[in-house]
Amino acid sequence: MTIQWFPGHMAKARRQVTERLKQIDVVIELLDARLPLSSRNPMIDEIVAGMPRLILLNKADMADQEVTEQWVQYFREKGLRTLPIDALSGKGVNRLPGICQELAGDMLARRAEKGMQARAVRTMILGIPNVGKSSLINRLAKRSVAKTGDRPAVTKAQQWVKVGDQLELLDTPGILWPKFEDEMVGLRLAASGAIKDELIDFTEVALYAIAYMMHYYPQRLLERFKLSALPADRIEMLEQIAAKRGCLIAGGEADYDKAAEIFLRELRSGKMGTISLERPIDWELAEPIGKPLSSLQAEQNP
């Protein structure tokens, strides 16, 4: 699934981020714990190269804990400090100011040596739309200072937010990239809800997520849809979901689009339990799990 989406305000946001970096001590990169690499804008490495950085894996309460631990180790091996959090409940968030102080230690020491007045660490929060930036800022500020929503691209402008005496946060609009070159990235993001539903094909996205769950979480599917056994493939699984949820059209045929939309709603809301939509090993597989049927058919019939 190829998605192209780079609204004007996002292009402007990238320019603003680049301009503001001179005022920043630590960059906070907010990722979705369910799909860390797919929710990571590849432009960020280039934009903030060489700066102290903290990776936050948000929505960790919705992700598979064992898989999240794999991601923490993955980023640690790349020299990046990583912290799983849940911005809505506040779990792990109270550790953030202290870690930012540690990461800004060299800057703070230089200021002290020069006899300069102590000040709060200035941080910039970066992340794609709908990853939870506004919820995190509100949690840290202990008041509602940023708009929140369950749809992408709620934040449209930058603002500074003071967090006690230790931290100052710069919120920024979510920055997507012009085009998802990797079709699996687009599918994972769409499954998580990070892309506006008007831009996705529900059936294609649901078939990806179903295939992934059939491989890694078969028991969740059996329990959620009250099945005695998994069907042979993902299309049959979607047909079973349609039957279980009453998504049928004339003649008893499955309404694939309606069943797919219901499946994705239940997946995103956590009704199927804690689910991770990618693992580090998934990026090493020659044949990704959940690859679109159209791509598989094209490869088999060149």
- Beta-strand pair 167-171/159-163: antiparallel
Q: Answer yes or no: do 112 and 55 share one domain.
A: yes
Structure tokens at 181: 């070159």
Mean pLDDT of the chain: 86
Range of the domain at 248: 201-287
Task: Give the 3-state secondary structure of residue 219.
Answer: helix
Angle at 37 between CA 84 and CA 129, to 5 degrees: 80
pLDDT in tens, 18-68: 778 888 999 999 999 999 999 987 778 888 888 999 999 999 999 999 999
Q: What is the model's pLDDT at position 126?
A: 86
Q: Is residue 193 part of a domain?
A: no
Domain total in the chain: 2
Q: Answer yes or no: do 151 and 212 share one domain.
A: no
Q: Is residue 192 part of a domain?
A: no
Would you call 43 exposed, middle or buried from its count of C-beta atoms within 10 A (0-12, 13-18, 19+)?
middle
Q: Mind giving me the DSSP string for 279-290?
A: -GGGGT-SS-TT
Q: What is the model's pLDDT at position 241?
A: 98
User: Any idea which of 99-113, 144-158, 161-175 has the lowest mean pLDDT?
Assistant: 144-158
Q: What is the model's pLDDT at position 3?
A: 53
Residue found under tokens 């008041």: 143
Q: Answer yes or no: do 108 and 205 share one domain.
A: no
Instruction: Give the confidence band of 302 by pLDDT, cuts at 50, 70, 90.
Output: very low
User: Any idea which of 53-57, 74-78, 125-129 has the lowest mean pLDDT?
Assistant: 125-129
Structure tokens at 135: 């919820």
Q: Answer yes or no: do 164 and 232 share one domain.
A: no
Give the chain's end-to-end CA distance (angstroms, integer). Answer: 18
What is the pTM assigned to this prediction? 0.86
- CATH number of the domain that 268 lies in? 1.10.1580.10
pLDDT in tens, 242-287: 999 999 998 899 999 999 999 999 999 999 999 999 999 999 988 8
User: Any idea which of 134-138, 149-153, 154-158, 215-219 has the lowest mean pLDDT?
Assistant: 149-153
Q: How far apart are CA 238 and CA 260, in angstroms?
A: 7
- Beta-strand pair 26-32/121-126: parallel
